[in-house]
Structures are given as C-alpha cells and as structure tokens.
Amino acid sequence: MAVVDSAATSHYLDGAAGDSVTIVGLVDTFTPVIAAHAICALYVLLLGPVQILRRRRDRAHRLLGTSWVAAMVLVCATSFAIMPDGFSWLHGLSIWTLVCLVLAITAIRRGSVPVHRGFMVGSYLGTLAAFSFAALVPARLIPRLLQSDPLIAAATVLAVGAAVAVAVLLALRPAPAEAAAEAPARRS
C-alpha cells in the first residue's frame, strides 16, 4: 500500500491540489466512506431520469423512489464524513437536500404531487450540480481517477448501471397479486 500524506490528501479532496505528485496512490484515497458516497451518488444520478421521465406513477415508482431516497440520504450523510478542510457549500447542499427530501415525502403523503415533483426534481438537479463540480474540477478525485485508472471508473459505472437496471426491471415486474390476477385472463 502506498503512503498517503494527510495534508496532501486534504488539499486534494478540496480541489486545491494542482499536480500529479500531490497524491501517492490515488486509489488509496478512496476510503470506504468516499467509495460509498460515490457509489450512492452514481446510483442517484442514473436512477433519477427513470423516475422523472416515466409517465406512470405506480408501485414501481414508489419502490424505485424509496431506493432513490435511501441512496440520497446516504450521499448526504457520507458527505459529512468527507470534510478535510471543514464545512463547505457542498455540505450546505447536503443539508438542503435532506430538508427537500422530507418536504417531498410529506407533500406526496398529503397528496400534493406538484410540490413532491418540484422537490424531487430539485434534489436531483442539486445532485447533478455537485457531480459537475466533482467531475469537472481537475484536482478532484473523479478526474484523477479517470486519468490514472479509467478501467476502475468504467467498471464502477457499469456495475452501478447494472444495479440500476436490475432494480428497474424488478420494480416493473407485476406484484404477485397482479400476476395471479392476470394469469386466468391469459388462459382464456
């Protein structure tokens, strides 16, 4: 294992590092918390369009929405464990996102679909903004990973994409009661 200088890692994580020598062993900087944060964020980013663009608001929407909210809560919670130089605007975004999720769930339970939709789409757009920052600032982990280990980055995206596809396919399957009700109709 490579030795990672904590001061260099701190500068690297906040986007201040400017050269490739700043971090020794890029993959070593992916702590379990950072890995969980990145995987959950990727899940949120890939599942979001499915939830937003599907016309039907049915059992599948509720199941996928529950998994999306759980992943979003994990993204926000893990962000607070990634604070090399203290509180940043990204942590403020995490707090705001958690508030929006509570408001969105409260709205849909009260039957206010437009309010629910607005907060959920807004949460997704906030995640896109945070991802854009993480992906486009050259000193952040994502661009460095793409430079040093593109295969790991591609495999991660493919694995999370496959997980999203499986979740969507499983959620779209009819519930056992629905499948049993449809079976006699098919036999006729």
Greatest Cα pair distance, the chain, in angstroms, is: 72
Integer Cα distance of 64 and 34 in angstroms: 24
Which of 50-59's residues contact partners 24+ apart within 8 Å by CB, and which partners? 50/164, 50/168, 51/120, 51/124, 52/120, 52/121, 52/124, 57/113, 59/171, 59/175
pLDDT of residue 28: 57
Task: Count Cβ atoms within 10 A of the Cβ of residue 140 and give its class: 0-12 exposed, 13-18 middle, 19 or more buried.
Answer: middle
Mean pLDDT of all residues belonging to the chain: 83
Residue 179 has pLDDT above 80, yes or no: no
| Residue 74, pLDDT score | 97
Residue 13 has a pLDDT of 47
Find where tokens 């979740």 sit: 167
Q: How many CB atoms lie within 10 A of CB 40?
A: 20
pLDDT-derived band at 22, boundaries 50, 70, 90:
very low
Please write the tens of the pLDDT for every residue from 65-89. Answer: 999 999 999 999 999 998 877 888 8
Phi, psi (deg, nearest 5) at residue 27: -65, -30
Query: DSSP 3-state helix, strand, coil percentages of the chain (rounded to 5)?
Result: 75, 0, 25
Residue pair 144/26 in contact by the 8 Å Cβ criterion: yes
Least confident piece of the model among 25-34, 88-97, 157-166:
25-34
Whether 64 has a pLDDT exceeding 60, the answer reads yes
Looking at residues 116-122, what average pLDDT do you find? 96
Does the pLDDT value for residue 102 go beyond 70?
Answer: yes
Among 64, 131, 122, 67, which Cα is nearest to 97's? Answer: 122
Instruction: Reply yes or no on whether the pLDDT at 155 is more than 60.
Output: yes
| Residue 128 pLDDT > 90 | yes
Q: Which residue has the higher pLDDT, 13 or 188?
A: 188
**Is residue 2 pLDDT above 80, yes or no?**
no
Sequence-ordered strand ranges (E) for the chain: none
pLDDT recorded at residue 72 = 97
Give the mean pLDDT of 137-155.
Answer: 85
The structural domains of the chain, with segments of one domain joined by +, span 32-173
Give tens-digit pLDDT for 7-20. Answer: 444 444 444 444 44
